[in-house]
Amino acid sequence: MDLRKVFEHTTYAVNRRLLAYTITIIVMSIITSLMLLFPGYGTPIDVWISGQLTIVSIIFKILIALQISRIAREITSGEIQLYLAHTLTRSEYVLSMLLASWFTPTLILVSSYIVTFTIAAPNLVISGELLKPLIHLVPDLLFIASITLFFASRGREGIATTIGAALPILLPLSLSIAFSGYMNTSHPVYTQIFYVFTIVLGLMTPYTYNLLYVNYQNISYPLQGNLSKLANPTLNTLASLALSIAIITLTFVLFKKKDL
Amino acid sequence: MTMVEFREVSKKFGKVEALKNISFTIPEKTVTAFLGPNGAGKTTSMKLVMGFLKPTKGVVFVWGEEPWRSEGVRSRIGYLPERPVYPMDIAVENFLNHLAKLKRLSKIDVNRVIRLVGLENLADRKIGTLSRGYIQRVGIAQSLLGDPELLILDEPTANLDPSARREIIELLKTLHKELKVSMIISSHIIPELQEIANYAVIINSGIALEYGYLNDLWRKYEIEAIFIIKTVDVEAAARILIDKSYVHYVKKVSNSLEVSIDPEHYKSFENLLTELSGLIKSYTFKTASLGDLYEKVVKSGSQESV
């Protein structure tokens, strides 16, 4: 794989596509920075702040999904043939599109975290405490990117767009319901069902899983569910990361054989 | 040396069999007319050469390599796709610059192809604002980046008006003359390839009916070439022309001459007419012998299948 070509095509794709979303990205980065100022200056992350940050992450996920789903249009229209005809390999093409559509927005979001915290609480940045949400946020964005990439690379723009736009909203919502159901139900069958859903959905949105886990950890009144039976957020995030990498690998393998 | 070889190649899309066990070869340094009606399998064949498709059965070789496995083969090929699939929101120059960067080419190379296809004054315009003829020029420009050894042009004149079509054919003729590049050109408008091709592959319904050098095919299918010549002295010109061994007949038609020749001597006859420029005012090629050839091949192909 020629990384220089990957870089060239990534830059080209970012310039062409992502610049159209510049205003959205700037606004979202400002909101992120403002929300992060509170914990940066010592205020604990409450529901309101985490809600705002979740909304920003959802918007970023939708943005990423919409960008990636456009690969399908390049495949069906035949535009991809132009790039492949100029020596870009199939793997280089997919990687550059992933970098342009997932890595660049993620880098911008991560930068807003780092810059804000560096200004507000450099000592907490050094200790790594305030950057913990990023450990869960980046794999969360990657999962949406990988699943959208899979369908987009099959040339299924409709499915890729629908899934890519729906999952960022549905996953946190469903996980909240499942998590809450697990923690507040005593019926063994329902508990089992909610448990399975929590585990499965947790893999798909590790950022939300972490938020819910931490929130339930801090609840002082007695709950029906046993939090310790659920996966630790870091373990869940690692599993989610592994799942995303598996999906991306499968995408690369299948795309190598795809008729264009 | 063989440049492209199809060895018992079949390609299926679901239940539709686009190519049915076809075999043919294309030698180097040829301009190949890839002939067949719409849906014959021309685009599928070209995509197989580019490695965009994998054969369902059989093997495609390009310079001895399988293009769908060895993606490096594409670096030696320039490709013009059938549909104008160019990003419409980008300026011509920026688009070509990006493709050039992928091939490690400089801006000088980009400017050269822009000049070559006559887009100097439109280089800063967005592709979407250009007419179809000029968009096709953008396509040809991108296919020429990096001085490819082989140009694959899929319906280069499709959806163009007659004057734009004429311009593109003239451009291809110039390119062939100046760059000496091998070409595979598909078209269902047969006469326009007459002027440029010296080799042909004729396919119909996914079957290769015939392939070979045009001189050989003309002879095999007994196709004759007819010129209409306007001259200042009909009698004198007729006397000179009839003496040539490859001239079948010379007929006076009003103030012109109708001359039938052995198509194998097409070039030497043209050279003769150029030598006789004091006597010959102008000449046109009347018979679209490639069209005649195509019809004869298709006819014999259908008779064989009956």
Q: What is the least distance, in Å, from the CA of A16 to any CA of chain B? A: 8
pLDDT digits 0-9 by tens, B57-68: 999 999 999 998
- Give me chain B's average pLDDT, please: 86
d(CA B127, CA B132): 10
Phi, psi of A216 (to 5 degrees): -70, -30
Share of chain A above pLDDT 90, in %: 46
pLDDT digits 0-9 by tens, B216-246: 787 777 777 788 899 998 999 999 999 999 8
Q: Which band of pLDDT confidence, cut at 50, 70 and 90, is reported for residue A10?
A: very high
Return the structure tokens found at A87: 């020596």
Beta strands B182-187 and B150-154, pairing class: parallel
On the question of pLDDT at A242 being above 50, the answer is yes
d(CA A163, CA A199): 20
Q: What local confidence, expressed as pLDDT, does residue A9 receive?
A: 93
B52, B56, B73, B154: best mutation site toward chain A, by most A Cβ within 10 Å? B52
- Provide mean pLDDT across the span A158-172: 92
pTM for this predicted structure: 0.82
**All domains of chain B, ordered by start, with CATH?**
2-213 (3.40.50.300), 224-288 (3.30.70.250)
Q: What local confidence, expressed as pLDDT, does residue B302 receive?
A: 62
Q: What local confidence, expressed as pLDDT, does residue B167 receive?
A: 78
Q: Closest Cα partner for B20 from B55, B67, B63, B64?
A: B55
Question: Does residue B74 sit at the A interface (CB-CB below 8 Å)?
Answer: yes
- Provide mean pLDDT across the span A66-95: 91
On the question of pLDDT at B148 being above 80, the answer is yes
In this structure, the number of other CB atoms found within 10 A of the CB of residue B35 comes to 29
Q: What local confidence, expressed as pLDDT, does residue B306 receive?
A: 44
Highest mean pLDDT pick, A123-127, B98-102, B136-140: B98-102
Q: What local confidence, expressed as pLDDT, does residue B158 receive?
A: 76
Q: What local confidence, expressed as pLDDT, does residue B224 receive?
A: 74
On the question of pLDDT at B145 being above 50, the answer is yes
A11, A15, A86: best mutation site toward chain B, by most B Cβ within 10 Å? A86
Question: Does residue B53 sit at the A interface (CB-CB below 8 Å)?
Answer: yes
pLDDT digits 0-9 by tens, A194-210: 999 999 999 999 999 99
Judge: A85–B74 Cβ closer than 8 Å, yes or no: yes
Judge: B98–A88 Cβ closer than 8 Å, yes or no: no
Q: Closest Cα partner for A239 from A140, A163, A169?
A: A140
The residue type at A109: L
Q: What is the least distance, in Å, from the CA of B23 to any CA of chain A? A: 21
Q: Report the chain A residue with the minimal C-alpha distance to residue B43.
A: A260
Task: Examine the predicted complex and report whether its ipTM is higher than 0.85.
Answer: no
How many residue pairs bridge chain A and chain B with CB atoms within 8 Å of each other?
A: 67
Q: Report the chain A residue with the minimal C-alpha distance to residue B87.
A: A79
Question: Does residue B102 sit at the A interface (CB-CB below 8 Å)?
Answer: yes
Q: Are A194 and A184 in contact (CB under 8 A)?
A: no
Q: Report the chain B residue with the minimal C-alpha distance to residue A259.
A: B53
- Provide mean pLDDT across the span A106-117: 81
Chain A residues near residue B16 by CB distance under 8 angstroms: none
Q: Report the chain B residue with the minimal C-alpha distance to residue A17.
A: B89
Chain A residues near residue B77 by CB distance under 8 angstroms: 85
Share of chain A above pLDDT 70, in %: 93
Question: Does residue A243 sit at the B interface (CB-CB below 8 Å)?
Answer: no
Judge: A87–B74 Cβ closer than 8 Å, yes or no: yes
Q: Which of A100-104, A122-126, A217-221, B141-145 has the lowest mean pLDDT?
A: A122-126
Query: Which DSSP state fits A101?
Result: I
Place of tokens 């004729």: B202
- Provide mean pLDDT across the span A27-51: 73
Task: State the SS3 of chain B.
Answer: CEEEEEEEEEEEECCEEEEEEEEEEEECCCEEEEECCCCCCHHHHHHHHHCCCCCCEEEEEECCECCCCCHHHHHHEEEECCCCCCCCCCEHHHHHHHHHHHCCCCHHHHHHHHHHCCCHHHCCCEHHHCCHHHHHHHHHHHHHCCCCCEEEEECCCCCCCHHHHHHHHHHHHHHHHHHCCEEEEEECCCHHHHCCCCEEEEEECCEEEEEEEHHHHHHHCCCCEEEEEEECCHHHHHHHHHCCCCEEEEEEECCEEEEEECHHHHHHHHHHHHHCCCCEEEEEECCCHHHHHHHHHHHHHHHHHC
State how many domains chain A has: 1
Q: Report the chain A residue with the minimal C-alpha distance to residue B102.
A: A5
- Provide mean pLDDT across the span A72-85: 92
Share of chain B above pLDDT 70, in %: 95
Q: Closest Cα partner for A116 from A56, A47, A65, A206?
A: A56
Q: What local confidence, expressed as pLDDT, does residue B19 receive?
A: 93
Structural domain of A228: 3-256
Nearest Cβ partner for A79 among B52, B87, B102: B87
- Provide mean pLDDT across the span B123-137: 89
Chain A, 9 to 68: residues with Cβ < 8 Å from chain B are: 9, 12, 16
Q: What local confidence, expressed as pLDDT, does residue B304 receive?
A: 60
Question: Does residue A91 sit at the B interface (CB-CB below 8 Å)?
Answer: no
On the question of pLDDT at A35 being above 80, the answer is no
- Provide mean pLDDT across the span A106-110: 85
Phi, psi of A63 (to 5 degrees): -60, -45
Q: Which band of pLDDT confidence, cut at 50, 70 and 90, is reported for residue A161?
A: very high
Phi, psi of B140 (to 5 degrees): -70, -40
pLDDT digits 0-9 by tens, B98-126: 999 998 999 999 998 898 888 888 999 99
Question: Does residue A81 sit at the B interface (CB-CB below 8 Å)?
Answer: yes
